[in-house]
Amino acid sequence: MVIYDLLIKNGFICTSSDIYPADIGISNGKIAVIAANIDSEFSKEVIDAEGGVITPGGVDAHVHVDEPLKLMGDVIDTMGTATRSAVAGGTTTVIAFASQDVNLKGPKALSESVNKTIEFCQKEPLYCDYGLHLILALVEETDNACNVLDKQLSSLYKDQGVSSVKFFMTYPGLQMSDYSILNIMYATRKSGITTMVHAENGDIVRWMTESLENQGLIEPYYHGVSRPTIVEGEATNRAITLSIMMNTPVLFVHVSSPEAVEAIRRAQTMGIKVFAETCPQYLILSQADTKCHYGHNNWFEGAKNVCSPPLREDQTKECLWRAMDNGTFTIVSSDHCSYLYSSKYRGKHNAFDQGKSGKFRYIPNGMPGVCARMPLDFHYGYLKENISSLMKFVEVHCTNPAKLYGCYPQKGAILPGSSDADLLIWYPIEDKRGHTKINNRMMYHSCDYTPYEGLEVKNWPRYTLSWKC
Ligand code: URP
Ligand code: ZN
Ligand code: ZN
Ligand code: ZN
């Protein structure tokens, strides 16, 4: 009698709360049963995990893909290629961004922006499930802005199921005033929407950028110099103050600064609902990687690693790992935002056009990483003992992002009857077959480089099971 489509035998299931040996029966893309020693004859197909760990598929809640509004510029990955890249590295759910179309007006304006993005993303085959956040680009500074926004966000939630918005405290043209932030926080609290904050003080960045340019300090490396860690610390503190004022829970994205970590930790200790995300690039790469990338001597190559917040000094990493382990960070995402090196080169061309040498201010910010996130952190986090357990790895890479963005326990868990059969079977820990030297080809993205080229990791998902809904 065949009951299951697929049976996984001889594995150790690892969730955010337990590790134990068991077999898994899968039917119709769902986890059907977990039990000791399920007989192979009950299943159409059997995979032998050979003593390897089985975790939920990764949930990457911060990914940028090409979309109609192109707020992030000419990113090269589409939803199709980003999901392909995700699955290649063990991520089976991505949450990307739709941008607000500021030309649309009326109560359905935000829903229409999201609709356009969904249509755009579904033009090609996708490799795994996805969700969308909304980027707020403009909030009218009118008396009633908070109520107008509340209505729009409520209908967005009802019509599209979009339950999170991101806003920026930096970037020319996108930087929100404190007044607008209060309006956003009022509206997100009323509509029950999660508020994602990009916290950097845009005025300091602007001042520093101009000052560095005046001194002729314009290479990619100075992008990082223009945004020291206190730039993030100040904005994080301010956003926490505004969130207390509005009684609105907030989530800080791509946190990289010790001052920001401290502010978040302090707020959490006071019982304020503050969540935080960090990314592998801040845990593994460093500011020196924007000077000259892994031994080449093309001075502009550091542009590949230009992102905001910027990569930090090596000393910062310990603080970030600790914050992951002690629960200050709720989730780890990639902030995948891929530009061809030729697009990064815009910084160079643009400046050449003006008869000067390259300026960091024109380099598009962001780097690819959706593929490498899971294996990098399995290696640098768990295997190198920067985090204390594999359960913590699962918690911040799979379970918490699913909970935070409303797709748990369908995603981020291995629960019979509830969870999709999105599963990773890793190599047994000592198995040399898992050893992998990262190169760009194996990222399966559309980008022409990976910031992690040449790094070696001691495990890689041997099987990635992704069942699309
Ligand atoms: O440099 C970055 N992080 N680019 C992507 C846009 C953003 O702010 O997340
Ligand atoms: Zn951001
Ligand atoms: Zn170089
Ligand atoms: Zn981002």
Supply 262's token pair: 């401290």
Angle between helices 145-160 and 178-191 (to 10 degrees): 40
* Ligand 1 pocket member 232 (CB < 6 A): no
The answer to whether the CB of 44 falls within 8 A of the CB of 6 is yes
Ligand 4 center from residue 62 Cα (angstroms)? 6
What CA–CA distances, in Å, run from 314 to 221, 284, 307? 15, 9, 16
Query: Is the Cβ atom of 365 under 6 angstroms away from ligand 1?
Result: yes
CA of 301 to the centre of ligand 3 (A): 5
Q: Is the distance from the beta carbon of residue 336 to the nearest atom of ligand 1 less than 6 Å? A: no
What whole-number distance in Å separates Cα of residue 411 and Cα of residue 129? 10
In a domain, 117, yes or no: no
Output the pLDDT for position 356.
Answer: 46
The DSSP bridge pattern shows strands 4-14 and 19-27 to be: antiparallel
Does ipTM exceed 0.90? Answer: yes
Could you tell me which residues are beta bridge partners of residue 463? 425
What local confidence, expressed as pLDDT, does residue 467 receive?
85
Domain extent for 369: 57-78+102-111+131-404
Q: Is the CB of 84 under 6 A from ligand 1?
A: no
Specify whether the CB–CB gap between 47 and 9 falls below 8 A: yes
Expressed in angstroms and rounded, the spacing between residue 202 Cα and the centre of ligand 2 is: 12
Per the domain annotation, does 263 fall within a domain? yes
Answer whether residue 247 is part of any domain.
yes
Candidates 166, 220, 159, 228; CA nearest to 200 is 228
What is the domain count for the chain? 1
Question: In this structure, which amino acid lies at residue 7?
Answer: L
Instruction: Among 65, 166, 254, name the best residue to mutate to test ligand 1's pocket (greatest count of ligand atoms within 8 A of Cβ).
Output: 254
Per-residue pLDDT of the chain (469 residues; tens, 9 = 90+): 889 999 999 999 999 999 999 999 999 999 999 999 999 999 999 999 999 999 999 999 999 999 999 988 899 999 999 999 999 999 999 999 999 999 988 888 999 999 999 999 999 999 999 999 999 999 988 889 999 999 999 999 998 999 999 999 999 999 999 999 999 999 999 999 999 999 999 999 999 999 999 998 888 999 999 999 999 999 999 999 999 999 999 999 999 999 999 999 999 999 999 999 999 999 999 998 888 644 455 778 899 999 999 999 999 999 999 999 999 999 999 999 999 998 887 666 554 445 445 689 989 999 999 999 999 999 999 999 999 999 999 999 999 999 999 999 999 999 999 999 999 999 999 999 999 999 999 999 999 999 999 999 999 999 999 987 6
pTM attached to this predicted model = 0.96
Question: Would 254 be classed as within a structural domain?
Answer: yes
Residue 296 pLDDT:
53
Q: Classify residue 297 by burial, with Cβ atoms within 10 Å: 0-12, 13-18, 19+.
A: exposed
**Is residue 205, in this structure, part of any structural domain at all?**
yes
Strands 194-198 and 331-332: what pairing?
unpaired
pLDDT value of residue 292: 62
| Residue position matching structure tokens 């509005």 | 246
Q: What is the pLDDT of residue 117?
A: 96
The answer to whether the CB of 41 falls within 8 A of the CB of 428 is: no
Q: How far does the centroid of ligand 3 lie from the alpha carbon of residue 310, in Å?
A: 17
Helices and strands counted in the chain (H then E): 15, 17
What pLDDT is stored for residue 106 in this prediction? 82
Answer whether 129 contacts ligand 1 (Cβ < 6 A). Answer: no
Which of 278, 281, 337, 361 is the best mutation target for the ligand 1 pocket, counting ligand atoms within 8 Å of the beta carbon and taking the most?
A: 337
| 83 within ligand 1 shell (Cβ under 6 A) | no
**105 is written with which tokens?**
């007006």
Q: Which atom of ligand 1 is nearest to the CA of 72?
A: 6
The ligand placed nearest to the CA atom of residue 72 is 1
Query: In the numeric block, which tokens belong to residue 129?
Result: 């499930």
424 located within any domain? no
Instruction: Give the CATH number, domain containing residue 204.
Output: 3.20.20.140
Residue 435 lies in a domain: no
- 426 within a domain of the structure (yes/no): no
